[in-house]
Amino acid sequence: MMRLALPLTALLVLTSACGKGGRGHADSATHEATPHWTYAGEGGPDTWGALAADFENCTIGGAQSPVDLPVAAEGAPPALESDHAPVPVRYLFNGHTVQFDGSEGGGITVDGRSYALKQFHVHFPSEHHVAGQSYPGEIHFVHADSSGALAVVGVLVAEGPENPVLAPAVAGLAGLVEGVTVALEATIDPDDLVPEGGYRAYSGSLTTPPCSEGVQWFVMDAPIDLSKGQIDAFAAVTGVSNRPVQPLGDRVVAAGVLD
Ligand SMILES: [Zn+2]
């Protein structure tokens, strides 16, 4: 049984990467003491910075995410290339989001540097806005380089036809129990969920506590479609799961093209 216990531990640690993996050190020691944070009411985004000493970036950080992305972009973007591979669907509801294990899913290169996919997860409604506009949802593909530096690809979700790539996962959502990883006889190729074409790039943070900065963000211009039923199925599990937009300040947002 020990052979079973190890991969499960690995998955649960990955699970906390959204909130704890700022530099890839999401170890079990920090996992135990994670204060309770939420998206609304007590423990909501306005209070995150006060919940724990290492959450202070949520309040005082000057380069936080998400942001309202401007239409006009300036400067040369980091060059993004996407080279993901199909991953077996292993996912769970971790109390904040539905998170998929991405550990066999290839990765991206940023200015030629490799970042391996760690996990991907959802937010409903979207976290990033574009020219003041929110979207029904957003998917975050979280990658890390060999030093633990993070690069996240954000894909906005629009309401439209059913998304066949996510259909098997959506079908299993109703069976998810908080904290329990479920494996399906299905695969997802993240590149089937990352639209080619334009992207906005900027330097930001984790959008969940501890709101660690130094995260390289790429938000694709083109949304992907999920049907209303698929959006509702995810939102029924996660509830509202978006941090409000944060001040862009003097940060530069650059526009590039993924092809
Ligand atoms: Zn996220």
pLDDT class for 33, splitting at 50, 70, 90? Answer: low
Q: 241 CA distance to ligand 1 centroid (A)? A: 9
- Spatial separation of the C-alpha atoms in residues 138 and 246, rounded to whole Å: 16
Look at residue 30 and tell me whether its pLDDT is greater than 70: no
Q: 2 CA distance to ligand 1 centroid (A)? A: 31
Q: 74 CA distance to ligand 1 centroid (A)? A: 25
Q: 127 CA distance to ligand 1 centroid (A)? A: 8
Indicate which residue of 96, 121, 129, 143 is catalytic: 96
Q: Which domain holds residue 117?
A: 2-258
Classify 125 as helix, strand or coil. coil
Instruction: Give pLDDT, residue 3.
Output: 39
Look at residue 7 and tell me whether its pLDDT is greater than 80: no
**Mean pLDDT in residue range 96-125:** 97
Q: What is the CATH number of the domain that holds 46?
A: 3.10.200.10
pLDDT class for 109, splitting at 50, 70, 90? Answer: very high
Average pLDDT taken over every residue of the chain: 89
Instruction: Give pLDDT, residue 13.
Output: 35
CB neighbour class for 259 (10 Å; exposed up to 12, middle 13-18, buried from 19): exposed
Check if the beta carbon of residue 110 is closer than 8 Å to that of residue 86.
no
- Spatial separation of the C-alpha atoms in residues 152 and 131, rounded to whole Å: 20
Structure tokens at 123: 């937010």
Instruction: Give pLDDT, residue 19.
Output: 40
Look at residue 222 and tell me whether its pLDDT is greater than 80: yes
Peptide bond into 168 cis (omega under 30): no
Q: Tell me how many domains the chain contains.
A: 1
**Mean pLDDT in residue range 230-247:** 97
pLDDT class for 18, splitting at 50, 70, 90? Answer: very low
Instruction: Give pLDDT, residue 72.
Output: 82
Start-end of H helices in the chain? 2-15, 17-20, 28-31, 48-51, 57-60, 167-172, 228-238
- Quick: pLDDT tens for 122-164: 999 999 999 999 999 999 999 999 999 999 999 999 999 999 9
- Quick: pLDDT tens for 54-104: 999 999 999 999 999 998 888 889 999 999 999 999 999 999 999 999 999
Instruction: Give pLDDT, residue 75.
Output: 83
96 is catalytic: yes
Q: Which of 27-41, 160-174, 233-247 is predicted least confidently?
A: 27-41
Beta-carbon contacts of 164 under 8 Å, excluding residues fewer than 6 positions away, are none
Check if the beta carbon of residue 227 is closer than 8 Å to that of residue 89.
no
